[in-house]
């Protein structure tokens, strides 16, 4: 069984919104202007991508980085000297390598987490080896057990339930509807009728339900969410919020939700219930831009703060005009 590749660098580092107010940054800017600010963070980017977060340092490398950053070798050498001053402490040079003590400290939690995961993986690998069962065998066994369980559940549901087909309006014909409550207690018919009726009531553009087949993922997701929230009051609130939300209806961004999206995961359901996709209003009562959760959903990115959003704008991953759609 092959081991995991050990990764000793990172794809990004956090950039504080008030970084330009740091004393060492102000000092470097006083000597080198905006070039000092730019070169400092370009060096941090290179260090973050380097193995062990340290760069090989010699006269050749110095010339290469100076050319890469668009400044003279003399100016770059003076910049590095100032950064390495004890009073500044931005960089250090040891054993032919240059690094940032501050960057190492900031990335230490990432290093510790990776080390923890590697140790945990090795322990699991050893446990498998001791029991003379390979990971492949364990995976295959679990897969067979899961498929066997799903087949039994589907057969049981198929025997006790009929296929549910909903009209495009707000009612469900009795001839093709599911029972009011299936044998596992899921009120699929009520939830389906609720979804379609709230669409009409709230003027929603979300897709209407056409059918709920017990043998599909839709039904399994519905059953999972019902087991987590087995009361109709909660479902009425979630459906009402989803059908009213401008963001989920595709009126704010290109993204548009659906019944399947709402029930697909506990995360989607809970965020809708908690109001993360509710319409935001300013003091005048007008709709504002996207919330942070909505922005993350639109761009499929893990953005935890406005400063991180600014970082991705600076990198060109998110355009400035897209950022203007964000509401703090």
The 10s digit of each residue's pLDDT in 206-220 is 999 988 888 889 999
pLDDT at 116: 86
For 148-181, how does the pLDDT look when each residue is reduced to its tens digit (9 = 90+)? 776 776 666 555 443 443 433 444 433 334 555 5
CA distance 111 to 7: 9
CB-based contacts of 95: which residues, under 8 Å, 6+ apart?
none
Cα–Cα nearest to 170, from 195, 187, 207, 189? 195
pLDDT at 139: 64
Q: Are residues 128 and 166 in the same domain?
A: no
Residue where a domain stops, chosen among 84, 112, 132: 132
Q: Is residue 154 part of a domain?
A: no
pLDDT at 227: 94
pLDDT at 177: 45
For 294-320, how does the pLDDT look when each residue is reduced to its tens digit (9 = 90+)? 666 666 656 665 566 666 666 655 655
Q: Are residues 113 and 196 in the same domain?
A: no
Task: Give per-residue burial for 169-182: e unless 16+ CB within 10 Å, then b.
Answer: ebebeeeebbeeeb
Q: Are residues 100 and 234 in the same domain?
A: no
User: For residue 276, is pLDDT > 60?
Assistant: yes
Q: Is residue 152 part of a domain?
A: no
How many domains does the chain fold into? 2
What percent of the chain has pLDDT above 70? Answer: 70
Q: Are residues 81 and 212 in the same domain?
A: no
Domain that holds residue 83: 1-132
Please tell me which residue, 106 or 99, carries the higher pLDDT value.
99
Q: Is residue 278 part of a domain?
A: yes
Cα–Cα nearest to 88, from 48, 16, 31? 31
Q: Is residue 151 part of a domain?
A: no
Q: Are residues 107 and 197 in the same domain?
A: no
**Contact present, 55 and 91 (Cβ < 8 Å):** no
pLDDT at 110: 82
Please tell me which residue, 119 or 303, carries the higher pLDDT value.
119
pLDDT at 166: 40
């Amino acid at each position: 069984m092959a081991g995991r590749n050990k990764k000793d660098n990172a794809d990004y580092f956090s950039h504080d919104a008030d970084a330009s107010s740091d004393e060492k940054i102000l000092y470097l800017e006083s000597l080198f202007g905006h070039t000092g600010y730019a070169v400092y963070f370009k060096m941090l980017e290179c260090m973050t991508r380097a193995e062990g977060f340290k760069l090989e340092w010699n006269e050749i490398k110095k010339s290469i980085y100076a050319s890469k950053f668009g400044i003279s070798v003399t100016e770059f050498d003076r910049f590095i000297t100032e950064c390495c001053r004890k009073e500044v402490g931005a960089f250090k040079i040891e054993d032919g390598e240059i690094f940032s003590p501050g960057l190492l400290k900031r990335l230490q939690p990432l290093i510790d987490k990776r080390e923890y995961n590697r140790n945990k993986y090795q322990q699991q690998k050893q446990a498998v080896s001791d029991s003379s069962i390979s990971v492949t065998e364990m995976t295959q066994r679990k897969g067979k057990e899961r498929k066997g369980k799903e087949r039994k559940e589907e057969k049981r549901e198929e025997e006790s339930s009929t296929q549910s087909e909903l009209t495009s309006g707000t009612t469900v014909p009795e001839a093709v509807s599911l029972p009011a409550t299936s044998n596992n207690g899921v009120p699929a018919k009520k939830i389906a009728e609720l979804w379609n009726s709230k669409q009409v009531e709230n003027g929603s553009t979300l897709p209407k339900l056409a059918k709920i087949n017990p043998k599909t993922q839709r039904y399994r997701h519905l059953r999972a969410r019902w087991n987590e929230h087995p009361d109709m009051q909660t479902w009425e609130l979630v459906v009402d919020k989803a059908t009213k939300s401008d963001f989920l209806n595709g009126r704010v961004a290109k993204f548009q939700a659906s019944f399947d999206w709402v029930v697909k995961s506990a995360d989607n359901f809970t965020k809708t219930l908690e109001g993360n996709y509710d319409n935001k209003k300013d003091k005048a009562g007008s709709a504002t831009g996207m919330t942070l959760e909505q922005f993350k959903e639109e761009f499929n990115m893990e953005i935890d703060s406005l400063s991180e959003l600014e970082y991705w704008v600076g990198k060109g991953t998110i355009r400035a005009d897209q950022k203007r759609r964000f509401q703090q």
